[in-house]
């Protein structure tokens, strides 16, 4: 096996940061991995319930001094007020990642387009969308009721007085059954809002206000136009006594789209190269690493910030995972490879700084953990949530081929393993390629299933273990290994650690939608000859 492939630019990891359950930073993450216990806790997001989840331990104020040292004080406050937690988690993990190698920050800034940012998210900013949606619903109901009030709707007054007939009028709310009253009230209001001449008059006046144009010096005129529009809109509201219009939705909705974490990292790090969000569900981190290695090997980048970030457990995600029949719901830990009762939702972030190995060594930067040799990616083209055998097999074989490795070169392997029946098929597919000598780990019983960050946590745990020379324990007692899985492969990492085996490390992630990413990594090279 030729680990350093002829003619290929090698990639190294030179910084990493983590936000995870029970782990506000990568140091706590490494320390906690040394114990075999779970980091999960009761959810109770529906009131009392039977779900365990992974809630990140995090406080953005821990990074206040770092940010204030580089930006005006208002910048930190804007982040707190406008950014949802996925962006803040990614910011924290990025700042941590700069700490392993002094000089990384200035190097990222000086490289221009040769420093890039690929940080994705699996679920996006759910809390911002959730609250904005509730606010919009409530605002729309107030708005509709206001303009559907007979006092402000001449057409409705005429109709109620029996002076005119109207087509398609829904039943009056009071004529509906009690359980249907709310929906009937909404339909009634919606109909009469559309037939309000008063609302049309209001909108015509508003259009005149919004039609004010910028004239003269653009910058000064823009500020004047904004102030003038706001003043006239306020007068219009006072004239009609109208509630806040439903389109006054929080701008935080667009400040927290999927590329926001990457954009915020580019701003904080003054990184001028490409910054965007790869989105590949549970395979996001592996896909981001693949793209980064491609950019480094092609010469487009010398350093790339890669990562994944997820919101904390939310009723929308916990409920939808449960409805998809992949979530444990009995209030007890569901460890992978055991009873296959389902996984546990978790949130947080992981960010690595990877770079051209030789270039970074020449700058005096020290590589961390292991050397990523190759990432194989594929799609199942099969089912939105049920993994196939073909898709992961393609990714694993691609990673081996690109790494110049044979299956027998693998010493350890980390599974995607979600504690569902898919664990059996994953191990079954694994054994079609790899021998029984490979030590297998499965860690979602420890920190839960971060939609995009989970694969990055697992890979970081693998790298930290190899860096120590000893793999961390899992939550799996040997006696609890599922008999059907034990029949396929029984060389598992149980709830006691062991020395890191010789050979390469592998890691498979399988994302919703059938996106697969397989990372093959090797021991760090011996640094000699002044390296």
Q: What is the DSSP letter of 313?
A: P
Decide: 471 and 498 in contact? Cβ < 8 Å.
Answer: yes
pLDDT at position 176 is: 87
- Considering the chain, tell me which residue range(s) the CATH 3.40.47.10 domain(s) occupy: 11-123+257-522
**pLDDT over 90 percentage in the chain:** 89
**pLDDT category, 7, cuts 50, 70, 90?**
low
pLDDT at position 164 is: 65
If DSSP states are collapsed to H, E and C, what string results for 28-74? HHHHHHCCCCCCCEECCECECCCCEEECECCCHHHHHHHHHCCCCHH
CA distances from 381 to 139, 277, 280, 393, 424 (A): 42, 22, 14, 13, 20
pLDDT at position 216 is: 67
Q: What is the pLDDT of residues 242-263, one digit of tens each?
A: 999 999 999 999 999 999 999 9
| Top-confidence range, 1-5, 413-417, 494-498, 522-526 | 413-417
pLDDT at position 222 is: 79
Q: What is the pLDDT of residues 91-136, one digit of tens each?
A: 999 999 999 999 999 999 999 999 999 999 999 999 999 999 999 9
The secondary structure element, H or E, covering residue 204 is helix 197-210
Residue 1 has pLDDT above 50, yes or no: no
Q: What are phi and psi of 438, to 5 degrees?
A: -75, 130
**pLDDT over 70 percentage in the chain:** 97
- Residue 82's CB is within 10 A of a number of other CB atoms, namely 15
Parallel/antiparallel/unpaired status of strands 348-356 and 303-310 = antiparallel
Mean pLDDT of 387-405: 97
Residue 299 has pLDDT above 50, yes or no: yes
- Residue 285's CB is within 10 A of a number of other CB atoms, namely 36
Higher pLDDT: 390 or 497? It is 390
Mean pLDDT of 1-16: 75
Residue 55 has pLDDT above 50, yes or no: yes
pLDDT at position 225 is: 83
**Mean pLDDT over the full length of the chain:** 94
147: left (phi over 0), alpha (psi -120 to 50) or beta: alpha
Work out the angle at residue 19's Cα, subtended by the Cα atoms of residues 14 and 22, and round it to the nearest 5 degrees.
Answer: 130
406-418 b/e (C-beta count within 10 Å ≥ 16 → b): ebebbbbbbbbbb
Residue 465 has pLDDT above 50, yes or no: yes
**pLDDT category, 162, cuts 50, 70, 90?**
confident
CATH number of this structure's domain 11-123+257-522:
3.40.47.10
pLDDT at position 531 is: 40
Mean pLDDT of 450-467: 97
**pLDDT category, 2, cuts 50, 70, 90?**
very low
The secondary structure element, H or E, covering residue 308 is strand 303-310
Mean pLDDT of 393-415: 98
CA distances from 103 to 97, 98, 268, 440 (A): 12, 8, 15, 37
Mean pLDDT of 276-302: 98
pLDDT at position 223 is: 80
pLDDT at position 217 is: 73
Measure the CA–CA gap between 155 and 198, rounded to whole angstroms: 9
Residue 212 has pLDDT above 50, yes or no: yes
- Residue 71's CB is within 10 A of a number of other CB atoms, namely 14
Mean pLDDT of 322-332: 96
pTM: 0.94
pLDDT at position 528 is: 42
DSSP helix/strand/coil, 112: helix
Measure the CA–CA gap between 388 and 505, rounded to whole angstroms: 23
Mean pLDDT of 34-53: 96
Mean pLDDT of 392-416: 98
pLDDT at position 529 is: 37
pLDDT at position 32 is: 98
Q: What is the pLDDT of residues 163-183, one digit of tens each?
A: 766 788 998 888 888 888 999
Mean pLDDT of 488-495: 96
**pLDDT category, 3, cuts 50, 70, 90?**
very low
Parallel/antiparallel/unpaired status of strands 449-450 and 345-346 = parallel
């Amino acid at each position: 096996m030729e680990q350093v492939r002829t003619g290929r630019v090698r990639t190294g990891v030179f910084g990493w940061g983590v936000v995870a359950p029970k782990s506000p930073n990568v140091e706590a993450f490494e320390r906690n991995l040394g114990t075999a216990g779970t980091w999960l806790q009761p959810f109770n997001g529906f009131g009392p319930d039977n779900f365990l989840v992974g809630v990140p331990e995090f406080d953005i104020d821990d990074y206040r001094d770092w940010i204030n040292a580089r930006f005006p004080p208002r910048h930190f406050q804007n982040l707190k007020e406008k950014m949802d937690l996925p962006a803040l988690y990614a910011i924290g993990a990025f700042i941590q990642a700069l700490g392993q190698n002094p000089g990384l920050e200035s190097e990222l800034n000086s490289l221009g387009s040769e420093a890039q940012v690929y940080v994705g998210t699996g679920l996006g900013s759910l809390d911002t969308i959730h609250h904005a949606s509730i606010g919009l619903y409530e605002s729309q109901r107030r708005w509709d009721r206001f303009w559907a009030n007979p006092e402000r709707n001449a057409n409705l007054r005429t109709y109620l007085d029996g002076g005119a007939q109207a087509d398609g009028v829904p039943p009056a709310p009071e004529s509906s059954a009690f359980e249907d009253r709310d929906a009937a009230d909404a339909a009634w209001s919606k109909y009469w809002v559309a037939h309000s001449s008063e609302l049309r008059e209001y909108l015509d006046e508003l259009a005149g206000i919004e039609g004010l144009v910028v004239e003269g010096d653009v910058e000064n005129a823009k500020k004047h136009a904004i102030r003038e529009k706001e003043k006239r809109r306020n007068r219009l509201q006072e004239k009609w006594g109208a509630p806040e219009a439903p389109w006054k939705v929080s701008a935080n909705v667009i400040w927290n789209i999927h590329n926001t974490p990457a954009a915020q990292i580019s701003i904080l790090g003054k990184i001028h190269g490409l910054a965007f969000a790869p989105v590949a569900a549970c395979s996001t981190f592996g896909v981001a690493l693949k793209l980064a290695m491609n950019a480094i090997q092609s010469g487009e980048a010398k350093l790339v910030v890669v990562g994944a970030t997820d919101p904390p457990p939310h009723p929308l995600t916990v409920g939808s995972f449960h409805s998809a029949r992949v979530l444990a719901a009995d209030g007890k830990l569901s460890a992978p490879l055991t009873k296959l009762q389902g996984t546990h939702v978790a949130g947080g972030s992981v960010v690595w700084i990877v770079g051209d190995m030789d270039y970074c060594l020449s700058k005096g930067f020290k590589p961390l953990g292991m050397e990523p040799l190759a990432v194989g990616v594929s799609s199942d083209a099969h089912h939105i949530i049920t993994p196939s055998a073909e898709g992961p097999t393609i990714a694993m074989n691609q990673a081996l081929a690109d790494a110049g490795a044979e299956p027998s070169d693998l010493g350890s392997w980390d599974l995607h393993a979600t504690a569902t029946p898919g664990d059996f098929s994953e191990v079954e597919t694994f054994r079609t390629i790899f021998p029984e000598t490979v030590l297998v780990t499965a860690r979602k019983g420890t920190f839960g299933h971060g939609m995009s960050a989970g694969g990055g946590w697992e890979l970081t745990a693998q790298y930290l273990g190899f860096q120590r020379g000893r793999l961390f324990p899992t939550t799996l007692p040997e006696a609890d290994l599922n008999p059907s899985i034990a029949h396929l492969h029984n060389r598992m990492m149980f709830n006691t650690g062991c020395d890191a085996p010789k050979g390469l490390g592998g890691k498979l992630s399988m994302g919703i939608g059938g996106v697969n990413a397989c990372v093959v990594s090797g021991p760090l090279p011996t640094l000699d000859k002044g390296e």
